[in-house]
Amino acid sequence: MGSALMASGAMGLPVSGFPNMNAIMLEDTLGNPYLTTMDFFKAGIPANGAGKTTLLEKIKNLYTGHPGMAPSRIQPTVGVNIGKIPMKRTLVKFLDLGGQPDLRGIWESYYEDSHAIVFVIDSCNSERIEEAKEALLGLMEARDLDGVPVLVLANKRDLKGMSLAEVKEMVNSMADFMEERDVRVLDSSGLDGEGVRAAVEWVYSRIIENRTKKPPIVPET
């Protein structure tokens, strides 16, 4: 029903936990190293319900020009999928984690380095809205996620389902748990790409604005 996307940053090198990638440093068109690496974490509830992997493939397509995996080939996420896109002079890495109950225990491994949350709602599955709400509340209560901006994304806007107003009503009912957190509700379609750029750009802008409170990670040299 829902998915969460989080972001973390590192100056120059990827965050720890990905030893096979720690030598990667992309360069911009001027030959200058990217200043920051930010990692996005996504978790689905259920893993194949909210369209999180389809959304990630569309993001990769929109920002790199390379075709993403066809929706018909996408399987439920087990473990983690990684996507990387360049934005301005920043390399943004997306982590797409499985959301089945027995996999959610790995989410907290990514909390400390996260700089944003994008919680993806399957707008066509209102029957599981309470499960999604419970998962989002769990993220809001995580100490390592204090103060990070939150985007609640109503996905599958190309299909008939919950309206954006209904999703906003759900979020408003959780206002006491949001505290002074920067929160936005948008809609999107991971299938046709509607609203995807607006969602990514909002998250990126909030991460940059929030970096004085939660700065990028500076890796050891």
Domain count, the chain: 1
Whether the CB-CB separation of 221 and 19 falls below 8 Å is answered with no
Q: Is the pLDDT of residue 91 over 90?
A: no
Comparison of pLDDT for 88 and 205, the residue scoring more: 205
Q: Is 77 annotated as a binding residue?
A: yes
Residue 116 maps to which CATH number? 3.40.50.300
Whether 221 maps to a domain, the answer reads: no
Whether 214 maps to a domain, the answer reads: no
Residue 84 φ/ψ, nearest 5 degrees:
-130, 130
Say how far apart CA 3 and CA 35 lie, in whole Å. 28
Comparison of pLDDT for 104 and 116, the residue scoring more: 116
pLDDT in tens, 118-145: 888 888 888 878 888 888 888 888 888 8
Whether 215 maps to a domain, the answer reads: no
Q: Is 99 annotated as a binding residue?
A: yes
Of all residues in the chain, the percent with pLDDT exceeding 90 is 5
Whether 217 maps to a domain, the answer reads: no
Say how far apart CA 104 and CA 20 lie, in whole Å. 24
Q: Is 168 annotated as a binding residue?
A: no
The mean predicted confidence, pLDDT, of the chain is: 71
Domain range for 181 is: 2-209
Whether 69 maps to a domain, the answer reads: yes
Q: What confidence score (pLDDT) does residue 196 get?
A: 92
Q: What confidence score (pLDDT) does residue 104 get?
A: 67
Q: What confidence score (pLDDT) does residue 159 get?
A: 85
Mean pLDDT of 94-101: 69
Q: What confidence score (pLDDT) does residue 186 get?
A: 93
Whether 12 maps to a domain, the answer reads: yes
Q: What confidence score (pLDDT) does residue 9 get?
A: 46
* Torsion angle of the four alpha carbons 132, 137, 138, 142, in this order, in degrees rounded to the nearest 10: 140
Q: What confidence score (pLDDT) does residue 195 get?
A: 93
pTM above 0.85, yes or no: no
Say how far apart CA 96 and CA 117 lie, in whole Å. 12
pLDDT in tens, 173-217: 888 888 778 899 998 988 888 999 999 999 888 888 887 777 665
Mean pLDDT of 152-173: 87
Say how far apart CA 119 and CA 43 lie, in whole Å. 8
pLDDT in tens, 7-40: 444 433 222 222 222 222 333 333 444 445 555 5
Whether 149 maps to a domain, the answer reads: yes
